[in-house]
Amino acid sequence: MSRTGKRPIAIPTGTEVSVQNHELIVKGKNGTLKRAMHPNVAIDVEGGNVTVSPKGSSRLARALWGTYAAHVRNMVAGVNTPFTKKLQIEGIGFKAELAGKTLKMALGYSHPVIINIPEGLTAVVEKNMITVTGADKDAVGQFAASVRNLRKPEPYKGKGIRYEGEVIRMKQGKKAAGA
């Protein structure tokens, strides 16, 4: 039994949750989120609560029960307060700038790296920090991970793009030859 799936999800005021044509729709002050429902999971909206339950007792239905409960919780939370990920750029000559809906970065390559910001997300660049915000937790995390993947922090000098607060285990470099 899923511990997170058993708990009902409270709907805050100003938030609408509905199920239409095998699709979950959550509307709030920060936007609208939609997610396709799996046929092995039932989502019921009753009063001010949303309940998620498995259809049947198959292993897949029980596995998706808690997963979809977490998705619904994240959707309800995201349309009320946006999710945020902060990325820190470290390295000499490494920088980022925002040009409309594109993020242009100099990461030590011979060419600038240009990434389009997905719909529904906003990015803010301040000195060496990139802040990604949006209502969809999955989209925020995926975009932040794709930006970090462009230049992962390396363990010798610590250069690269890392999450704020991420600790990189530093390795010792070459030792000087003993005379």
Q: Which CATH superfamily does the domain covering 3-80 fall into?
A: Ribosomal protein L6 (3.90.930.12)
Tell me the per-residue pLDDT of 88-131, one tens digit each, with 9 for 90 and over. Answer: 999 999 999 999 999 999 999 999 999 999 999 999 999 999 99
pLDDT confidence bin for 45, thresholds 50/70/90: very high
Please give the average per-residue pLDDT across 67-84, as a whole number.
94
Task: Please tell me the predicted confidence (pLDDT) of residue 5.
Answer: 82
Is the pLDDT at 32 greater than 90, yes or no?
yes
pLDDT confidence bin for 172, thresholds 50/70/90: confident
pLDDT confidence bin for 1, thresholds 50/70/90: low
Q: What is the mean pLDDT of the chain?
A: 91
83-163 matches 3-80 in CATH topology: yes
Q: What is the domain partition of the chain in residue ranges?
A: 3-80, 83-163
Tell me the per-residue pLDDT of 141-169, one tens digit each, with 9 for 90 and over. Answer: 999 999 999 999 999 988 999 999 999 89
How many whole angstroms separate alpha carbon 151 and alpha carbon 94?
10
Task: Please tell me the predicted confidence (pLDDT) of residue 177.
Answer: 63
Domain 83-163 in CATH 3.90.930.12? The answer is yes
